[in-house]
Amino acid sequence: MLSGDKIRTEHLTAYYGPKPAITDVTLGFAEHAVSAIIGPSGCGKSTLIRCLNRMHETVARTRVEGQVVLDGEDIYQLDPVRVRRRVGMVFQKPNPFVTMSIYNNVSAALRFNGRPSREETDRQVVRSLQQAALWDEVKDRIDAPAVSLSGGQQQRLCIARALAAEPEVLLMDEPCSALDPIATAKIEELIKKLKEEYTVIIVTHNMQQAARVADNTAFMYIGKLIEFGPTEELFERPKESLTEAYITGRFG
């Protein structure tokens, strides 16, 4: 664990009911870098990132042991609502608020968590949409319903919405798996730019995607962390034979 880690887990174990989905995971994510988590279905990668913003516990009968340390503080000792404002999340299937316009979606975090002025909100909305590379496409229809956008645009809208809350860390749970290749490529470009301002952690089942966007990659298998290191090293010269077997497609 480097002192340059923005957020890290310490011996993290998370349960659904009596069964642990992840076991004793200790993993650090560097600031202003993109870290990817790969592994076969059911390896626990989604559970892991849902523990990073305390979304895991919103499901009934879940339990967490261990710590998640953000800037030196264990997030499980803090108010979960505040934690979620600092650690944002984008989900697998784009989920804009269907009852709201584009503007209201992006400004949702601002409107519900405080009452900034109209000018401030406007400014934040424009900035977030620009960061999400969506501004040019929606600037003349910002009050249109969010559902009028295409799938790829909706996902970028969700990214803008998450960014508008000004998080420090952005979690992305397979953000491109519901999108076509062109939309995927746009979002991958976006992710590479986002790391200048945020710490990005992305779960993906697509190894080539991890190879394309991530600085560091972690491989998980059946709830355990098998290997973690710079992406190029992990893909060219993995240390664990299990890692090699997975990335060369021998299982999973």
Partner 1 sequence: MKPFDRHARRKLLSHTIAVLSGLTVIAVLYPLVSIIYEAFALGGGVLFQTRFFTAVPPNACSAISCQTVGIGPDIVGTLILIGIASGISVPVGVLAAIFASEYRAKGLGRAISFTADVLTGVPSIIMGAFIYGYFVIYYPTIAYSAYTGGLALSAIMTPIVVRTTEEGLRVVPNSVREAALALGITKWKATLRIVLVAALPAVATGVLLAVMRAAGEAAPLLFTALGSNLYPTGLGHPIGALPLLIYFFALSPYSNQVKVAWGATLFLLLLILIVNIVSRLMIHRMKVRMGGA
Partner 2 sequence: MNADPLADTGRPRGYDLEIRQLKARAVAMGEWALGMVHDGWRAFKAGDFTAAQAVLDRGAELDRLDEDIEHATIAFLVLRQPTAGDLRTAAGVLKITTHLDRVGRLGFDMARITAAGPLKGPADLQDVLERMDNAVESMVRQCLEALGHDRADLARELFRRDDEVDQLHRDANRIILRELRSKTSDTPRVAEALLVARHFERIADNACKVGEKTVYALTGQRRSEYLPRHRYMPYALEAPLSTPETTEHPPPG
Residues that bind partner 2 (CB under 8 A): 207-208, 211, 235-238, 243-244, 247-252
* Shortest spacing between CB 228 and partner 2, in angstroms: 16
> Running DSSP on this structure, what letter comes out for residue 75?
G
Binding mask 223-242 for partner 1 (x = CB under 8 A): --------------------
Q: Tell me how many helices (H) and strands (E) the chain has.
A: 11, 10
Report the side by side order of strands in the sheet with 5-16: 19-30, 5-16, 62-70, 73-74
Single out the residue of 158, 159, 183, 213 in contact with partner 1 (rule: CB under 8 A).
Answer: 158
**Which DSSP string corresponds to 193-236?**
HHTTTSEEEEE-S-HHHHHHH-SEEEEEETTEEEEEEEHHHHHH
Q: Binding partner of residue 109 among partner 2, partner 1, none, CB under 5 to 8 Å per kind?
A: partner 1
CA distances from 107 to 21, 67, 98, 111 (A): 34, 32, 14, 6
Single out the residue of 30, 147, 178, 242 in contact with partner 1 (rule: CB under 8 A).
Answer: 147
By beta-carbon proximity to partner 2, the closer residue of 38 and 132 is: 38
By beta-carbon proximity to partner 2, the closer residue of 103 and 235 is: 235
Q: Binding partner of residue 53 among partner 1, partner 2, none, CB under 5 to 8 Å per kind?
A: partner 1
By beta-carbon proximity to partner 2, the closer residue of 19 and 237 is: 237
Chain residues 82-101 in contact with partner 1, contact rule CB under 8 A:
82-86, 88-89, 91, 93, 95-99
By beta-carbon proximity to partner 2, the closer residue of 35 and 243 is: 243
Single out the residue of 6, 161, 186, 195 in contact with partner 1 (rule: CB under 8 A).
Answer: 161
E strand or H helix that includes residue 251: none
Our finding on whether 78 is near partner 1 (CB under 8 A) is: no
Checking 192-195 for CB contacts under 8 A at 24+ apart, the result is 192/34, 193/131, 194/34, 194/131, 194/163, 194/170, 195/32, 195/33, 195/34
Residues that bind partner 1 (CB under 8 A): 53, 55, 58, 60-61, 81-86, 88-89, 91, 93, 95-99, 108-109, 112-113, 145-148, 158, 161-162, 165
